[in-house]
Homo-oligomer: A and B are copies of this chain.
Amino acid sequence: MNIEDKLIFPRMEKSKQNHLKEKIFEIIFEADTPLGKLFDVMLLITILFSVALVMLESVPSINAKYHTILVVLEWVVTILFTIEYALRLYCVRKPWRYFFSFYGIIDLLSILPTYLGIMYPSTKYLSSIRILRLFRIFRIFGLTQFMRGGSMLLIALRQSRAKIIVFLSFIILIVVVIGSIMFVVESEHPESGFTSIPTSIYWAVVTLTTVGYGDIAPSTALGKFLASVVMIIGYGVIAVPTGIVSSELSRSKTPEPPKNTQVCPHCHDSYHLDKAVFCKTCGTKLNS
């Protein structure tokens, strides 16, 4: 909040309770104050650290060697996240709204697997959910001015949405038809891997997108010829999405970056104007 704002809109009287709540809200949800920035940096490091833990745990050799250390560190991180989750629930005005929001669910899914692991033996499937913590990074960056480039990309993508849908439909259609043709052509040669239409469609996707694993490859002359046609189509068709995005980006102008990191305590809407006192979406008074 700018100094001028403070002069124009003097802080109203509040109970100490509310003041604490507001303070925590400002630290956790916003990035204007030094403490808010410090919190974001610490959170970012913890998230990256916890994601690294989940990855290391999944490597059999490392898990066998350092199992105890990994479990202890995992608990430390989980408890930190639990405290943060509790504070978030405490300081927002409408806890239920946060609880059922996208980030609320991500936050819960980040800590739940470790607690469930006490009751039920921790399985691979459960612990991998914690990788979703990575999505929490977006919340941090969403508050800073880093996203200017990204928002421009998103605008370009949104404006060419119709063209992208048509393009994807075309790709799906071509892949289904080619997959079926190749299934018929190569069905006499089971060793080439075209065992069913879905598998052949999978091959068509692998080929059209120029990935080319080689686990399924045509063995007949006709199959190879058709595959060559598919490849050249794929090689040429890649030009279409590129052309779409290029021309969209050439047209678009850089939008003004959001300079304000305030978040509405009621509806969690961000991107307010610098001198905004009330939320532009729900009209709630913003924290100064």
Contacts and interface: CB of A to CB of B under 8 A. Distances in A.
A163 interface: yes
A18 interface: no
Contact of A209 (B163, B214, B235): B235
A246 B250 contact: yes
A134 interface: yes
A177 B109 CA distance: 14
A236 to B, nearest CB: 5
Interface in A193-209: 195-199, 201-202, 205-209
B224 A184 contact: no
A221 interface: yes
Nearest to A205: B228
Nearest to A198: B55
Contacts of A177: 131-132, 134-135
- Of listed A124, A167, A170, A241, residue having the most chain B CB within 10 A: A241
Contacts of A246: 239, 242-243, 246-247, 249-250
Instruction: Decide if the interface of chain A is mainly helix, strand, loop or mixed.
Output: helix
A236 B168 contact: yes
B58 A198 contact: yes
How many copies of this chain does the complex contain? 4
Contacts of A176: 51, 131, 134
Contact of A245 (B54, B125, B150, B240): B240
A234 to B, nearest CB: 7
Interface string A224-260: 1101100110111011111111111111000000000
B210 A240 contact: no
Interface string A124-137: 11001001101101
A121 interface: no
A10 interface: no
A42 interface: no
B211 A207 contact: yes
**Shortest 4 CB-CB distances between A and B: which pairs?**
A243-B245, A149-B162, A211-B212, A149-B163
